[in-house]
Amino acid sequence: MEELKLELPPIDYGAMLPMLILFAAACLGVVLEVVLPRRVRNTVQLVVALLAVVASLTAVVMARGTHIKTIGNAVAVDGPTLFLQGAILVLGAVSLLLIGERSVEQGGAFVSQAAITVGSKKDVQQAAGQPGATEVYPLTIFALGGMLLFVAANDLLTMFVALEVFSLPLYLLCALARRRRLLSQEAALKYFLLGSYASAFFLFGVAFIYGFAGAVQLDKIHLAVADPQRSQVLLYAGFGLVSIGLLFKAALAPFHVWTPDVYQGAPTPITAFMAACTKVAAFGALLRILYVAFEGVRWDFQPVLGTIAVLTMFTGAVLAVTQTDLKRLLAYSSIANAGYLLVGVLALNEEGLSSTMFYLVAYGFSVLAAFAIISLVRDADGEATHLSRWAGIGRKSPLLAGVFTFILLAFAGIPLTSGFTSKFAVFGAAVEGGQTWLVIFGVITSMLLAFPYLRVVVLMWLSEPGESTPAVSIPGFLTSTALALGVIVTVALGVVPAPLIDLTRDAAQFVR
């Protein structure tokens, strides 16, 4: 009887090294949760997580200039892959600084150590010596590893696996705000259920695409799209279902409904992590699918996705006006920004790819700074996110209010901030790509979205502090570092954006 031989595809371990480092560190973190004593667990886990991210980022930098496919063409390492992986890792490192500050459980809640300074003496005694929710570190590293694979996936099955690898930890991370247990777990359950449906749509879409192309590799799908003899019904059904899964992760309307509840219910550092890193991963995968696999039917999907972009921008801008909770306001702001990003994606040219990657980095640092500030305004009951509680904050803490004002103006797209530069870049690419109608709607919604930002600014500076106005916690070293990085990058990308723009242009070439 002839022996059956199984030939494994060749693997370029150098190209896979950034992901392998993170997955190894996440597994190590799980082991450390078991073997380490509670008193040192948080510090060791934070150090291991940060070292893993730095090592992975180093591997990404060393791989610059690489344009290869590996593991049977399942993974592509090229300019966009390396740039997006680097962005995810840098933003993930800043997110870990915010997460690391929340190192003490007060009464079973995942809250910041700074919160103890505004708590009662009894609260401080309860918190002393209690362990933090240190399982957050391996979960975060697993999510980061899945995101790196997601933006590098060159076939739809690998992309689906990566989607699940980074989604499942996020479902758990959203439920860690135990002080607000009901709100947090409700948000996590909603995110899990809707995410499961989106993943199912994605998987059904993969089946249709396989029926259409006879393959799941993106380059083979590209060749099949050019063949007019193949079933167009399978093509458009598959493309539509796959798009639903990606549009859900990117928080694009009408698949955005999970975003406000999850942003409000999740612990603030986790919200910051999702707002920055998940958006990079989602749009990275969307860019690869549209630019590599389905570019041949661009004239068919551009009007549909353009309509989704307009709906997303208006939904985010209009509903942000009605919000009375800051985290929900930033959630709708995130939805509107997803619409602006989609405008850049739909340019379907090199400038569109470059400007979208620039926007992802610029927005990521700004939103991390915004949530870092929100985590500092709190009282003994926790974070004060209702707008009424922020009245007069500018008189109590002018420095914090000044920094938050600058971040809000960056979100509004005021010149000399990264928000203006990034919007100008994506709108310019869209005009060049023949999508001027999207730019018109983008400008209109940008003006609408400025109102809720300015309302917060007026409330902070022109209102009298009331009895309910909370104290502002003194930030710890980790939060201060994360906040400083966010503000510095927001300023730098508004004043001297050329280095990052040049970097994105150099990286704007997919391997086919």
Q: Does residue 106 carry a pLDDT above 80?
A: no
pLDDT score recorded for residue 107: 30
Report the domain count for the chain. 1
H or E stretch covering 291:
none
Looking at the domain assignment, is residue 216 inside a domain? yes
Looking at the domain assignment, is residue 307 inside a domain? yes
pLDDT per position as a tens digit, 163-190: 999 999 999 999 887 667 788 889 999 9
Looking at the domain assignment, is residue 499 inside a domain? yes
Name the more confident of 454 and 38.
Answer: 454
Looking at the domain assignment, is residue 6 inside a domain? no
pLDDT score recorded for residue 231: 86
Distance between CA atoms of 257 and 251, rounded to whole angstroms? Answer: 8
Average pLDDT rounded to a whole number, residues 476-495 = 94
pLDDT score recorded for residue 1: 46
pLDDT score recorded for residue 483: 95
pLDDT score recorded for residue 4: 60
- 224 contact partners, CB below 8 Å, separation of at least 6: 212, 213, 214, 215, 230, 235
Looking at the domain assignment, is residue 1 inside a domain? no
Distance between CA atoms of 502 and 512, rounded to whole angstroms? Answer: 22
Q: Which alpha helices (DSSP H) does 69-120 contain, by range?
A: 79-101
Looking at the domain assignment, is residue 3 inside a domain? no
Distance between CA atoms of 136 and 142, rounded to whole angstroms? Answer: 10
Q: Which residues of 298-335 are buried (b: 16+ CB within 10 A; e: fewer)?
A: eeebbeebbebbbbbbbbbbebbeebeebbbbbbbbbb
Helix (H, G, I), strand (E, B) or coil at 483: helix
- Percent of the chain at pLDDT above 90? 73
| Proportion of the chain in helix, strand, coil states, percent, rounded to 5 | 75, 5, 20
Q: Does residue 442 carry a pLDDT above 90?
A: yes
Looking at the domain assignment, is residue 372 inside a domain? yes
What is the span of the domain harbouring residue 342? 13-507
SS (H, E, C) 406-452: HHHHHHHCCCCCHHHHHHHHHHHHHHHCCCHHHHHHHHHHHHHHHHH
Looking at the domain assignment, is residue 304 inside a domain? yes
- Residues 139/171, Cβ–Cβ less than 8 Å: no
